[in-house]
Chains A and B, each alone.
Chain A
Amino acid sequence: MRAFTRGLIGIAGFLALWELLGRSPLIPAHALPPPSVVFGELVTQLTSPAFISHVVATVLAVLIAIAIAIAIAVPSGLVLGSVPAVRHATRAIIEFLRPIPSVALIPLALVMLGFGPETKITLAVYAALWPILFNTIYALDELDPLLVETARVFGTRRVGVLFRVALPSALPFVLTGIRLAATTALIVMVSVELMAGSQVGLGYFIMEARSGPGRMDQVLVGTVVAGAIGVLLNNGLERVRRRWVAW
């Protein structure tokens, strides 16, 4: 409880600093509206159906992207992690693909997939794949050989070992990967919305607020809400991990 209070004090201190900076003559007033203004706008926006639909669009797209990334990365990770030959064979390809930043693919995705939600979801999937894939492979590397031997001694066959031993033992790592992937997916999603059109979403809202009326308070509202979604995703998945895989 003390820690919680201290955390609140920390945040309050940050807001106070921001308020001071926002009101100081050093910084142009329109560039950094103080939190008092931003929070007023936040309340207004949270009651606006248009804003809510932007938020829903982004969150939904993020969830879809994570689901697709899991469906691709976990099975691939299991194969790559348990069959060394495949892993060595594909290593060069993976090492080449991984450093390509997802945003570099924006132009390509735009010409191929257009301005619909497919583009941003595809790019978010691409970005979210890697943490899940690498954590799954890593988890299988860390699989305790004694657990496998125990299962084999009791007559468990290869497939049984995969599903009854390797998979559960990899689960905590995989969930950590998913948590990292969720944050990444959100960032990519908002970025793509912000830069590459798409007609809905939090990023679009921010872009519109900036380029049209130059409403920095609305830009910051979008930013704060995006941050809040990130915190919720992160903490929610962390809680799931603690609750269901507490070993």
Chain B
Amino acid sequence: MNKFFQRWTVFAGLVAVWQLLGWLADDPFFPPPSEIVTAAWQWWVVDPRNFTEHVIPSITRLLSGWAIASVIGVALGLLLGRSDRAMEYAGPLLVFLRSIPPPALVPVFLLLFKAGQSMQVATIVFGVIWPVLLNSVDGARSVDVTKVDTSAVFRIPRWQWVLGVVLPAASPKIFAGLRVSLSLSLVLMVISELVGTDNGIGSQLMQAQREFDYTRMWAGIVLLGVLGYGLNTALLAVERRALAWQPRSRDEQHA
């Protein structure tokens, strides 16, 4: 409790300093936090049109892209992870595909899917599938030999082997991958909205900049920060519940 208090005090102190400097400097690039928060509230929450036209579609894209990538990534990852042979065939290709900056493919997706929702979702899926896929491969490989032997002795059916043994054993790694992917989804959502669309948080951000409305621009940045924080916290809560059986799960790791 004390630590909680301490860290928010420092945070509040920093915001206060910014507020003070913002007032004193009166710099158009750096409006004081009070103005930003007011603008964010007015723009994103109070105005129902902005909320339904920009915030909701953005979150829908983000979540559907992430969900599709997660399902494909986990399924493919578990398959590849249980076969060394398959991984030998696919490994170098995966390494290469993962290294491609997803925004570079935006032009291709634009032509393949036309501008709009499906192109944006495709960009997100391509960009965020790799952490899930590669972590699932790792996870599926980490099923220990004793569990493999135990399952073989009891002759459990195939589906039970995958869902009851491999998936739980791989789940800590899978969750780590899901978290990285979720924060990447936010990045790719913004990127996909910067071109070829006029709705979504990303496009609003760009538009605010073009109109020299810096307070609104900051409001967009703050909204994205809050969104990222909220999504990560929500996923962590799910993870904690899903991995409660684990002796010890780590919160912060190489993300």
Q: Do A and B come from one complex?
A: yes
* Chain A residues near B (Cβ < 8 Å): 2-3, 6-11, 13-14, 27-28, 30-32, 88-93, 95-108, 110-112, 130-131, 134-135, 137-138, 173, 176-177, 180, 183, 186-187, 190-191, 194-195, 202-203, 206, 210, 216, 219-220, 222-224, 226-231, 233-235
Q: With A138-B254, A183-B99, A187-B103 known to touch, is A107 a contact of B112 (CB < 8 Å)?
A: no
CB distance from A3 to the nearest CB of B (A): 5
In the complex, B145 has a CB within 8 A of chain A: no
CB-CB nearest in chain B for A173: B254
Closest to A209 in B: B107
How far does the alpha carbon of A128 sit from the alpha carbon of B100 in the complex, in Å? 17
Q: Are B214 and A10 in contact (CB under 8 A)?
A: no
Is B194 an interface residue, CB under 8 A from the partner? yes
Known: A134-B252, A226-B99. 9 other contacts (CB 8 A): A7-B93, A88-B7, A91-B7, A93-B14, A112-B29, A186-B99, A190-B101, A219-B107, A235-B95
The answer to whether residues A31 and B103 also contact, given A10-B93, A101-B186 and a CB cut-off of 8 A, is: no
Contact (Cβ within 8 A) A99 B232: yes
| B interface: dominant SS | helix
Are A10 and B220 in contact, CB atoms less than 8 angstroms apart?
A: no
Contact A10 B89 (CB under 8 A): yes
Are A97 and B105 touching (Cβ within 8 A)? Answer: no
Instruction: Annotate B191-220 by CB proximity to A: 1 below 8 A, 0 otherwise.
Output: 100110000001001101100001001101
Q: How many angstroms from the CA of A223 to the CA of B3 in the assembled complex?
A: 47
**Closest CB-CB distance, B12 to chain A, in whole Å?**
9
B95: contacting residue among A206, A220, A231, CB under 8 A: A231
B131 CB → nearest A CB, Å: 10
Q: Nearest-CB distance from A102 to chain B (Å)? A: 7
The interface bits of chain B over 214-255 (1 if a CB of A lies within 8 angstroms of the residue's CB, else 0) are: 100110110011011101100000000000000000001111
Report the separation of the CA atoms of residues A89 and B8 in the bound assembly, to the nearest whole angstrom.
Answer: 8
Q: How many chain-B residues does the 8 Å CB contact rule pick out? A: 59
Beta-carbon nearest neighbor of B2 in chain A: A88
Among B8, B29, B104, B229, the residue within 8 A (CB) of A111 is: B29
> Is B90 part of the binding interface, using a Cβ–Cβ cutoff of 8 Å?
yes
A-B contact pairs, 19 of them (CB 8 A): A6-B85, A10-B91, A10-B92, A31-B108, A89-B6, A90-B7, A101-B187, A104-B190, A104-B224, A107-B217, A134-B252, A134-B253, A138-B253, A190-B103, A206-B104, A220-B108, A228-B99, A230-B100, A235-B95
**B22 interface hit (Cβ, 8 Å):** no
User: Do B93 and A11 have beta carbons less than 8 Å apart?
Assistant: yes
CB of B89 within 8 A of CB of A6, answer: yes
Q: How far is the CA of A186 from the CA of B101 in the complex (A)?
A: 7
Given contacts A32-B112, A183-B99, contact A104 B89 (CB under 8 A): no
The interface residues of chain A lying within 8 Å CB-to-CB of B101 are 186-187, 190-191, 203, 223, 226-227, 230
Q: How far is B8's CA from A199's CA once the two chains are assembled, in angstroms?
A: 42
- Is the pair A100, B89 in contact by a Cβ cutoff of 8 Å? no
A231 to chain B: which residues have CB within 8 Å? 95-96, 99
Given contacts A227-B100, A231-B95, contact A101 B254 (CB under 8 A): no
B95, B104, B208: which contacts A234 (Cβ < 8 A)? Answer: B95
Answer whether A107 and B209 are a contact pair too, CB < 8 Å, given A92-B10, A194-B103, A206-B104.
yes
A174 CA to B52 CA, complexed, in Å: 43
Are B191 and A103 within 8 A (Cβ)? yes
Structural contact, B90 and A10, CB atoms closer than 8 A:
yes
User: B208 contacts A99, CB within 8 Å?
Assistant: no
Top 6 nearest A-B pairs (CB, nearest first) are: A99-B228, A230-B99, A107-B209, A31-B111, A7-B92, A92-B11
